[in-house]
A and B are shown apart, each in its own frame.
Chain A
Amino acid sequence: MATRIALVIGVKGLNSKKSKETSLHAIHVASGGRMVPFGGWDMPLQYLDGIIAEVNAVRNASGIFDVSHMGRIEFEGSGAEKFLSSIISANVPALKIGRSKYNFICNATGGIIDDAMLYRTGEQHYLLVINAANFDADMNWINTHYYDQSDVNMRVVTDDTVMIAIQGPKAVETVDSLTHGKASKIRRFRIGSAEFNGVTVTLARTGYTGEDGFEIIVPSYKGAELWSKLRESGSVEAGLGARDVLRLEAGLPLHGNDLSTDTNPFEAGLGRFAYFEAPNYIPGYALRHLSATKPSRKLVGFKMIGRGIPRRGLNIFADGAKPADESKSVGIVTSGTYSPTVDGGIGMGYVDQIYSVIATKLMIDVRGRLVEAQVVDMPFYKST
């Protein structure tokens, strides 16, 4: 057994900087949440029944996640549309009120600083939701270009609000029951608002699991009440472990694993989310060039055929490769897990272009053991 458990699961003592706590922290601890440092926050990895039970709850009924650690920034003013157009890869002028757009925050050379969700919440009002772990890098990018924006008001609202994701086939009816039937009126990938016990909450019908559901933004003081109500309605508390499995099953990339400043949207197969036509878009030139260049490697999904679980950082070899000669590696695993829904090992990784074709056989070097895998279409799981 020994020390590697501590390293993978994460031990508080190893974390020198004190982690921030969300408004729901005490509830997680009381529910038996195993708290781990994540992106500068102390977050639940899992609760008492474990990751598999939490994944199954989301696939079969509904699960709730505290996603309050995710960065939330509001942009307001007559210059908001133009400013956002300059810093993110979304076609901001085309975004209608109440709609959302998945996009990238790319650096000037097209490397991915973060992936983000942009919501248009009003005529001159936008909400940008970013990854907790990239908050500082994102703010650095944004602030570098924000300095002379007199007609854009930017406000970080992360600490003023709690954000709860509810996901699963029963998620919409659950939120409906708490909002007088208002929730189900909001269509998928749209954002709206509703009354919950006397306060206005923001409902974004999106998520990170491949299931229907909402991300609910509520004033911090009302967060615990919403969490309890969702639990009483039968939703199961779920942590980061389940979230990671669910997003991978749904074929959704995780920044820090599958995306980084060393990768660009095109080799990640996500070029359709990289809009670079805005005349003032800073990485526009770089992304246009990258879009016209055939990438030498591509992000693929693969399923294990042999016995083994792929893990981040493992080398990928061509079919029939002889035991691990690292110089002959044709790729690297960027995410991997055991999938309870697929009942087997699944992963994503970058491979040389010629190995990226669906059904290509690969060998994953599982700590010295070469285990057979096959490139498959993502998602690994699709909700019905």
Chain B
Amino acid sequence: MYPSDLKYSKEHEWVRMNGNIAEIGVTVFAQESLGDVVFVELPAVGSSVVQFEKFGEIESVKAVSDLFSPVEGTIVEVNSAAIDSPEVVNEEPYGIGWLIKVELSNTDQLDALMDATSYESILQ
């Protein structure tokens, strides 16, 4: 449920690093809590995000939630599949249901995130 190669934020986002590009999505806990995801609002490529600040919104049938960026940097890619078919966030939150890719300004900020074990412990 919480792959060990990812980093996690307490706001239930995950980060997968590839060089200095961070791929970002929501965790299994988040998508299960939300229920059927029906709408995702994401910023445009080129806009910047600030660590632990709002970058978008995710909606299920019943609920609206803010998305908080686990990292700081510039958005280099937005997942159009998540916008066009939001159910992919439920189906594969760590795969085709990813949300944005961010080029990091520095990698030290990753120290503020949790590993899978710590993240799971805050869910207890």
Contacts and interface: CB of A to CB of B under 8 A. Distances in A.
Contacts of A52: 36, 38, 61
Nearest to B39: A309
A4 B66 contact: yes
Interface in A63-90: none
Contact of A309 (B13, B59, B68, B90): B59
B67 interface: yes
B34 interface: yes
Interface in B51-84: 57-68
Main SS at interface, chain B: strand
Interface in B11-51: 11-13, 26, 30, 33-36, 38-39, 41
Given A309-B59, A338-B59, A2 B38 contact: no
A307 B39 CA distance: 9
Contact of A308 (B33, B39, B61): B39
Main SS at interface, chain A: mixed
* Size category, A interface: 20 to 34
Nearest to B83: A307
Interface stretch (A43-51, A169-177, A266-274, A290-298): A43-51
* Size category, B interface: 20 to 34
Contacts of B26: 1
Given A9-B63, A338-B59, A1 B30 contact: yes
A241 interface: yes
Contacts of B30: 1, 5
A8 B67 contact: no
Contacts of A1: 11-13, 26, 30, 33, 58, 65-68
A99 interface: no
A241 B35 CA distance: 10
A335 to B, nearest CB: 12
B38 A4 contact: no
Contacts of A307: 39, 41
Given A50-B35, A309-B39, A5 B61 contact: no
Interface string A1-31: 1101100110000000000000000000000
Given A1-B11, A1-B12, A1-B13, A9 B62 contact: yes
Interface of A: 1-2, 4-5, 8-9, 45-46, 50-52, 241, 244-245, 307-309, 311, 337-338, 340, 345, 367, 369
